[in-house]
Amino acid sequence: MDQGRYKSADEMFRRLVIARQKWNGDNDINTLKAFECLGRVLEHQGYFVKAEKMYRRTFEFKRDALGHEHLDTLTSINNLASTYRNQGRWKEAEELEVQVMETSLRVFGEEHLNTLTITANLASTYRNQGRWKEAEELEVQVIKTKKRVLGEEHPDTLTSINNLASTYGNQGRWKEAEELEVQVMEACLRVLGEEHPDTLCSIANLASTYRDQGRWKEAEELEVQVIKTKKRVLGEEHPDTLTSMNNLAHTWKSQSRNEDAISLMRKCCQLRKQILGHHHPYTEASLKTLNEWQMENMEAVL
């Protein structure tokens, strides 16, 4: 879904929430479903704080009405943890994800889709904290189960393979990462199409692996392609588009295109402050990088 359609969905679900509150009350199940749908739309647009409010409201009601171990309650906790993760609140996300994973394993078993989803999410939270081995262990387990249950080319299986490739890359295991990323990219292009978010993610990950190996031109070619598509599909201010801007700036800096890199990183910083907030880890990392690059340029002039 492109950004224009997300905005239309946003407006539609806001109207639906207001209507259901009026006719059914705040705690009616249909009102809560509307809140949850609105939360998903907000999250896809990168409005994580607003999505958190929607998810928290539905979680609290489901917990009280259905109990901690009901599937709908676990799904709501998982949604809430996702917004924490997207805000860089790793420890809060981890606490909820461990809770849901343990409950889901006990109640539904290791092959249930909810169990696989939350285990993959916990692995992502570990990866974001630099806990590569813990992330890898969970990702290998999830891929093995998803291949058996869903099939090798199911979008969820491809996402998990992509995540494992990122974990390999973070450990400097470039060849293993590249092999998986090429496999996933080709499957995503064939199964999902070139504008699907999972396809864009797989291309961006391959570009990152090329960049980490010093293959600047190959990385740049893919990154420019990804940014162009993300701007069209998601919008210039979407967090995923900003991640791709950040990556391209690094690739340009590695090619000594200092002015281009600083200009793009400055724009990325401005938008990340605006969209994610000053204290989000991604904003802080971009600001630190921009300051370092600007200092290097000043020292070179002197």
Query: Which residues, 6+ apart, have CB-to-CB distance to 124 below 8 Å?
Result: 85, 135, 163
The answer to whether residue 18 sits within a structural domain is no
Rg (the chain; Cα; Å): 20
The answer to whether residue 108 sits within a structural domain is no
CATH of the domain at 236: 1.25.40.10
Q: What percent of the chain has pLDDT over 70?
A: 88
Indicate whether 141 and 170 sit together in one domain.
Answer: yes
Indicate whether 168 and 223 sit together in one domain.
Answer: no
pLDDT tops 50 at residue 2: no
Write the pLDDT tens digit of every residue in 74-118: 999 999 999 999 898 999 999 999 999 999 999 999 999 999 999
Write the pLDDT tens digit of every residue in 139-198: 999 999 999 999 999 999 999 999 999 999 999 999 999 999 999 999 999 999 999 989
For 137, 150, 201, 212, 252, the CA distances from 160, given in Å and listed in that order, are: 12, 12, 12, 21, 29
The answer to whether residue 297 sits within a structural domain is yes
Write the pLDDT tens digit of every residue in 219-231: 999 999 999 999 9
Residue 135 CA to residue 142 CA, distance in Å, equals 11
Read off the pLDDT of each residue in 129-133 and give the average, rounded to a whole number: 95
Picking from 181, 205, 229, the residue at the C-terminal end of a domain is 205
Read off the pLDDT of each residue in 14-40 and give the average, rounded to a whole number: 64
pLDDT tops 60 at residue 8: no
The answer to whether residue 156 sits within a structural domain is yes
The answer to whether residue 85 sits within a structural domain is no
- Name the amino acid, one letter, at 31: T
The answer to whether residue 249 sits within a structural domain is yes
Read off the pLDDT of each residue in 238-263 and give the average, rounded to a whole number: 95
Picking from 173, 205, 237, the residue at the C-terminal end of a domain is 205
| Domain range for 227 | 216-302
Query: Which residues, 6+ apart, have CB-to-CB distance to 261 below 8 Å?
Result: 249, 250, 252, 253, 293
Indicate whether 225 and 293 sit together in one domain.
Answer: yes
Indicate whether 189 and 252 sit together in one domain.
Answer: no
Number of domains in the chain: 2
Picking from 148, 177, 205, the residue at the C-terminal end of a domain is 205
The answer to whether residue 102 sits within a structural domain is no
Query: What tokens does 151 get?
Result: 């099939």
Q: What is the pLDDT of residue 59?
A: 87
The answer to whether residue 271 sits within a structural domain is yes
Query: What tokens does 75 get?
Result: 């799904």
Indicate whether 200 and 231 sit together in one domain.
Answer: no
Residue 231 CA to residue 192 CA, distance in Å, equals 18
DSSP string, 86-125: HTT-HHHHHHHHHHHHHHHHHHH-TTSHHHHHHHHHHHHH
Indicate whether 153 and 235 sit together in one domain.
Answer: no
